[in-house]
């Protein structure tokens, strides 16, 4: 049976978050971004998305660039200096990092009180223990979408496809105990539980992995995945049908223009909340 779904605008949802961010103005501390190497995707994400969004929100966003072969000790020293700088309210480390660097050691150099990405071990442990200062941004995105759609998780079945460090892992942790049924599916697993899920969260980075016909009628698909398809175009994990939308349609976040704008907005909201707590 053909299933038809409606695209959700991440820009529309992110505007609601920026309205809340403006309530924090003026933000009297700067947000530091650590950028290692010259990865084009990382540079674009920092400069064209995070920095532009921050500046439009009145946030002082400063990029600290390091060569790809930077020594770990040098990078840790720079992060420590920012951590001790009272004018710095938050530090983000743009991933991925070069292979010679210990990713978790670098992330753990960021104090949890200045960690808007919530990627340090302390921030992760606090989140899992139920007492986070801020939610991991991907979790914040899911929450924003559920609130926007006025979805009550009680009685809902959820499938998380892709259990990675940035998306699937923390999102799965957050769903535990909040929904009726939770399916955790990693790459190479059986995807059939997706058919029974009211809410599907995707984060594998495999373009078109889940087709619209694989989903339940009326489901909500939150797609964090992105990668280039065989034609070199940026696509998400979800492949929607190019058809008209019936009244009983479900919803999905498109790529691009779906979870991406919300993710950036939630990161900046986290920063503002951390600054407020520091006062």
In order, the DSSP letters of 122-161 are HHHHHHHTT--SS--HHHHHHHHHHHHTT---TT-EEEEE
Question: Could you tell me the CATH number of the domain that includes residue 256?
Answer: 3.40.50.720
Q: The whole model's pTM is what?
A: 0.94
Instruction: Calculate what percentage of the chain has a pLDDT beyond 70.
Output: 96
Is residue 10 a part of any domain in this protein? no
User: Are 170 and 242 in the same domain?
Assistant: yes
103, 216: one domain: no
Output the pLDDT for position 16.
96
Residues 161 and 253 in one domain: yes
Q: Are residues 189 and 98 in the same domain?
A: no
**φ, ψ at 92 (rounded to 5°):** -120, 140
Of 92, 127, 162, which one is at a domain's C-terminal end?
127
* 253, part of any domain: yes
CATH number of 40's domain: 3.40.50.10860
User: Rounded to a whole number, what is the largest CA-CA distance in the chain?
Assistant: 59
Q: How many structural domains are present in the chain? A: 2
Is residue 164 located within the same domain as residue 253?
yes
Residue whose tokens read 């978790």: 104
Residues 191 and 244 placed together within one structural domain of the fold: yes
pLDDT of residue 248: 53
- The more confidently predicted of residues 44 and 262 is 262
Collapse the DSSP code of 235 into the 3-class scheme (helix H, G, I; strand E, B; otherwise coil) and give the result: strand
pLDDT, position 234: 87
pLDDT of residue 129: 96
Would 19 be classed as within a structural domain?
A: no
- Residue 21 host element (H or E): helix 10-22
The pLDDT value given to residue 242: 60
Note whether 155 and 256 are same-domain residues: yes
In this structure, the answer to whether residues 87 and 193 fall within a common structural domain is no
Q: Token pair for residue 179? A: 């929904």
The residue segments making up the domain with residue 244 are 137-260
Q: Is residue 5 part of a domain?
A: no
Contact 187, 225 (CB under 8 A): no
């Amino acid at each position: 049976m053909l299933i038809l779904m409606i695209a959700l605008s991440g820009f529309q949802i992110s505007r609601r978050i920026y309205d809340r961010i403006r309530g924090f103005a003026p933000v009297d501390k700067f947000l530091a971004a650590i950028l290692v190497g010259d990865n084009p995707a990382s540079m674009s994400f920092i400069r064209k998305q995070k920095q532009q969004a921050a500046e439009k929100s009145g946030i002082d966003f400063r990029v600290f660039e390091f060569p790809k072969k930077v020594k770990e000790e040098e990078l840790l020293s720079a992060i420590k200096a920012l951590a001790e700088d009272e004018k710095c309210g938050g530090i983000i480390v743009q991933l991925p990092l070069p292979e010679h660097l210990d990713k978790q050691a670098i992330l753990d150099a960021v104090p949890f009180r200045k960690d808007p990405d919530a990627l340090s071990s302390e921030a992760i442990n606090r989140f899992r223990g139920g007492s986070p200062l801020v939610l991991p941004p991907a979790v914040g995105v899911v929450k924003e979408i559920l609130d926007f759609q006025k979805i009550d998780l009680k009685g809902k079945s959820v499938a998380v496809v892709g259990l990675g460090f940035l998306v699937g892992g923390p999102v799965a942790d957050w769903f535990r105990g909040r929904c009726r049924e939770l399916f955790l599916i990693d790459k190479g697993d059986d995807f059939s539980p997706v058919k029974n899920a009211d809410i599907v969260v995707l984060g594998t980075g495999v373009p078109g992995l889940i087709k619209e016909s694989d989903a339940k009628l009326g489901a909500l698909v939150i797609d964090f995945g992105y990668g280039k398809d065989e034609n070199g175009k940026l696509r998400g994990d979800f492949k929607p049908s190019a058809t008209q939308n019936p009244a009983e349609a479900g919803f999905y976040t498109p790529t691009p223009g779906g979870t991406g704008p919300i993710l950036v907005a939630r990161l900046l909201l986290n920063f503002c909340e951390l600054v407020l707590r520091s006062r």
